[in-house]
A and B are shown apart, each in its own frame.
Chain A
Amino acid sequence: MSRLTPYFEQLKSQNKKALIPYVVAGDPDLETTLAIMHQSVESGADILEIGVPFSDPMAEGPVIQAAHERALEHNVSLADTLALVAKFRETNDHTPVLLMGYANPVEAMGYPAFADRAKTSGVDAVLLVDMPPEESVRLQAALKPHGIDNIFLISPTTNDDRIAKIANVASGFLYYVSLKGVTGAGHFDIRSVEENLARISQFSDLPVCVGFGIKDADSARQVAKVADGVVVGSAVVKLIEASKSNVLEPVGSFIRSLNEAIIS
């Protein structure tokens, strides 16, 4: 079992929600990403979602696309991302880490090799955006023996039959995409989120975290009232992009503000 399930159980017993910031590995460089990971935990992040750089990040909006491009400028790879997690684990053994990426870098490494290396690096869960359950049989088979969770997306367009199918193969938590669109889009509707989360809860007892379009303390607060966790990506990446030198301070204070918002 990965760190995720016990972590969510602990949060639940304390009546808390998970705060999950997202950054791209190697944006702007691997050393800074490592420092941001530690800073995030110190500032109240519960789970870290690390983007694996890819040349064609089809589900991303412009902010996160640019982060992928910055990381690829110095060729940050899946192997580098795994090494980053291993480095993080040298001083943090408790914070769950989720890798979010696209299928091809994993295909290139090979599923068994990827699963082995993810395990030894201390990765808890993997979400490949372009790999719905039907296409992830090989990935699931590779991850399962290592106890690494395979995270799947559920979107506003997912019908009940598919929710049941996805819930059946998912572990760790379910990731609900709050809107029809790319990451960082702005047309998020809390009532629709609430309705869909109620629909999902009919099919699964897994925790449900919500991402795409949550950009500030206010939207995080609204979502935390109805979900088990809140993923914040583009808003964090935007701060990294804007910070020329001291990136840790703005990221840390933003995560603190989100943390306070989801507690209150």
Chain B
Amino acid sequence: MSTKSKFQNVPDNDGRFGEFGGRFVAETLIAPLDELTEAYERLKNDPEFIREFDEDLANYVGRPSPLYHAKRWSDELGGAQIYLKREDLNHTGAHKVNNTIGQALLAKAMGKKRIIAETGAGQHGVATATVAARLGLECVVFMGAEDIQRQALNVYRMKLLGAEVVSVTSGTKTLKDAMNEAMRDWVTTVDDTFYIIGTVAGPHPYPLLVRDFQSIIGREARRQSLEQAGRLPDALVACVGGGSNAIGLFYPFLDDESVAMYGVEAGGLGLETGKHAAPICKGKPGVLHGNRTYLMEDEHGQIIGTHSISAGLDYPGVGPEHSYLADLKRVNYVAATDDETLDAFHELTRVEGIIPALESSHALAYTKTLAKTMDKDQIIITNLSGRGDKDIHTVAQLDGVTL
């Protein structure tokens, strides 16, 4: 008998989080997904697999990542004490590597020779190319042509690491189309290829295994909060595109009733403009990329183009577990606009000397709003999911600066 609550005891054996999740794929992919599910079920409790994963996280990624009390920023805002979970300090500069390490170990155990991945901002692509280089596996990363333009630095990093970057020119030329193309590759190459999905979306078992690999973030943060502050935080804040860093932080706290949680979607030019990437705030349930979840779609069920300043959040769907937690009202889903995000980006850089990724800056933007409504003895943990080096060109351009 499981003692887990309804919040934590998901998904079921069919990969369902209540109404959400599942396995909406063409028949050819059912067998490889079954194979992956079986491999994961076998390995997740295998002491040798766990030891290798923990060792890689410690010595290759540099975990645990610090929990940093941003005192000066907290004082300036005049509300709650803000602690930043420093996933930006991981090897490769974001939380993405926690998952690629885990999936690469699965790929190795399953004897796969070739790795494919989709990427938006390029962080997952870099994290995948990194683990592929380390294991000596062939690596192909699919990336929307538009994202290749705005994330040139990460494209070159992937190439340096030996990955082939395939420009995807179909549809909206962004993350969702990169995911379509990765699926098309996988359906053709299932025998020798492992598809490393970068977020808690996609067909079962991906939302489950990515959440499990990313939960290290929340487990550490929970322990660190108890050590440093002597208690649990009052609130957690994380940005949500597909939602892997948010689930990673939230999951270990879901049964801590006193901990409020806020998932921050990309508000783009404003929720009222329609130009955003906020499927939970403004979308409705539908089926895309192998799972049922909240989506941005038109009245005819066509997926619509999204807008966000950050390529990593520019996605019309969201992980099914977030849809589940939203409907249960366990997590509050809100949005931060491009402008609010940029303000927070500049503010953290100047006040704390930390340059955050634009994705993470959405979480910081909402943290500002939230902190001001709270008392000075209350605690917020905000996931600083990635560093902002990759976004310098975007920010400079918006500031009218040519580098």
Residues of A within 8 A of B27 (CB): 132, 152-155, 157-158, 166, 177
Verify A132–B288 contact, CB threshold 8 A. Answer: no
Verify A55–B24 contact, CB threshold 8 A. Answer: no
Verify B187–A130 contact, CB threshold 8 A. Answer: no
CA distance A34 to B58 in the complex (A): 63
Q: A104-B297, A109-B301, A135-B23 are in contact. Are A55 and B171 (CB under 8 A)?
A: yes
**Using a CB-CB cutoff of 8 Å, which residues 69-91 of chain A contact chain B?**
69, 72, 75, 77-79
Verify A108–B30 contact, CB threshold 8 A. Answer: no
Verify B24–A105 contact, CB threshold 8 A. Answer: no
Verify B188–A182 contact, CB threshold 8 A. Answer: yes
Cβ proximity bits B263-300 to A, threshold 8 Å, 1 near / 0 not: 00000000000000000000001111110100101011
Residue B401 at the A interface, CB < 8 A? no
Instruction: Name, among A69, A130, A154, A177, the residue most crowded by chain B CB atoms within 10 Å (CB to CB).
Output: A130
Cβ proximity bits A49-74 to B, threshold 8 Å, 1 near / 0 not: 00001111111111001000100100
Chain A residue nearest to B29 in the complex (CB):
A157
Chain B residue nearest to A103 in the complex (CB):
B287
Residues of A within 8 A of B303 (CB): 55-56, 104
Residues of A within 8 A of B189 (CB): 180
Verify B26–A59 contact, CB threshold 8 A. Answer: yes
Q: A104-B287, A180-B188 are in contact. Are A77 and B300 (CB under 8 A)?
A: yes
Verify B300–A130 contact, CB threshold 8 A. Answer: no
Verify A130–B25 contact, CB threshold 8 A. Answer: yes
How far apart are B187's CB and chain A's nearest CB, in angstroms?
A: 6
Segment with Cβ contacts to A, from B38-46, B176-184, B251-259: B176-184
Cβ proximity bits A91-105 to B, threshold 8 Å, 1 near / 0 not: 000000000001111
Residues of B within 8 A of A58 (CB): 26, 180, 183-184, 289
Residue B378 at the A interface, CB < 8 A? no
Residue B190 at the A interface, CB < 8 A? yes
Residues of B within 8 A of A72 (CB): 302
CA distance A77 to B25 in the complex (A): 21
- Among B29, B292, B301, which residue has its beta carbon within 8 angstroms of that of A106? B301
Verify A79–B28 contact, CB threshold 8 A. Answer: no
Residue A156 at the B interface, CB < 8 A? yes
Residues of A within 8 A of B403 (CB): none
CA distance A185 to B188 in the complex (A): 9
Q: A134-B23, A157-B32, A181-B188 are in contact. Are A79 and B300 (CB under 8 A)?
A: yes
CA distance A117 to B19 in the complex (A): 25
Q: By the criterion of a CB under 8 Å from any partner CB, how many residues of chain B are at the interface? A: 39
Verify B187–A131 contact, CB threshold 8 A. Answer: no
CA distance A57 to B288 in the complex (A): 10
**Using a CB-CB cutoff of 8 Å, which residues 285-326 of chain B contact chain A?**
285-290, 292, 295, 297, 299-304
Verify A177–B28 contact, CB threshold 8 A. Answer: yes
Do most interface residues of chain B lie in helix, strand or loop, or is the interface mixed?
Answer: mixed
**Using a CB-CB cutoff of 8 Å, which residues 148-183 of chain B contact chain A?**
170-171, 176-177, 180, 183
How far apart are B296's CB and chain A's nearest CB, in angstroms?
A: 11
Residue A225 at the B interface, CB < 8 A? no
Verify B295–A157 contact, CB threshold 8 A. Answer: no
Residue A162 at the B interface, CB < 8 A? yes
Verify A108–B299 contact, CB threshold 8 A. Answer: yes
Instruction: Name, among B24, B187, B290, the residue most crowded by chain A CB atoms within 10 Å (CB to CB).
Output: B24
Verify A59–B301 contact, CB threshold 8 A. Answer: no
Q: A103-B24, A135-B22, A180-B28 are in contact. Are A56 and B301 (CB under 8 A)?
A: no
- Among B31, B191, B301, which residue has its beta carbon within 8 angstroms of that of A107? B301
Cβ proximity bits B185-202 to A, threshold 8 Å, 1 near / 0 not: 001111100000000000
Chain B residue nearest to A157 in the complex (CB):
B31
Residues of A within 8 A of B22 (CB): 134-135
**Using a CB-CB cutoff of 8 Å, which residues 34-71 of chain B contact chain A?**
none
CA distance A77 to B302 in the complex (A): 8
Residue A129 at the B interface, CB < 8 A? yes
Chain A residue nearest to B191 in the complex (CB):
A180
Verify B187–A135 contact, CB threshold 8 A. Answer: no
Residue A159 at the B interface, CB < 8 A? yes
How far apart are B192's CB and chain A's nearest CB, in angstroms?
A: 11
Chain B residue nearest to A106 in the complex (CB):
B301
Verify B170–A158 contact, CB threshold 8 A. Answer: no
Cβ proximity bits A106-121 to B, threshold 8 Å, 1 near / 0 not: 1111000000000000
- Among A55, A131, A157, which residue has its beta carbon within 8 angstroms of that of B28? A157
Instruction: Name, among A57, A75, A104, the residue most crowded by chain B CB atoms within 10 Å (CB to CB).
Output: A104
- Among A78, A134, A181, which residue has its beta carbon within 8 angstroms of that of B300? A78
Verify A134–B14 contact, CB threshold 8 A. Answer: yes
Q: Taking A57-B180, A77-B302, A79-B300 as given, write out 8 further A-B residue pairs in contact, using a Cβ cutoff of 8 Å, ordered by the A residue number.
A: A78-B300, A78-B301, A105-B300, A105-B302, A108-B301, A131-B287, A157-B27, A158-B31
What are the nearest 9 A-B pairs in CB distance? A108-B301, A105-B301, A157-B31, A77-B300, A155-B28, A153-B27, A103-B287, A181-B188, A55-B302
Q: Can you list 27 pairs linking A and B with CB atoms under 8 Å apart?
A: A55-B303, A55-B304, A56-B171, A60-B184, A62-B170, A79-B300, A104-B286, A104-B297, A105-B300, A107-B286, A107-B301, A108-B301, A130-B25, A132-B23, A132-B24, A132-B25, A132-B30, A154-B27, A157-B190, A166-B27, A180-B28, A180-B187, A180-B189, A181-B187, A182-B184, A182-B187, A182-B188
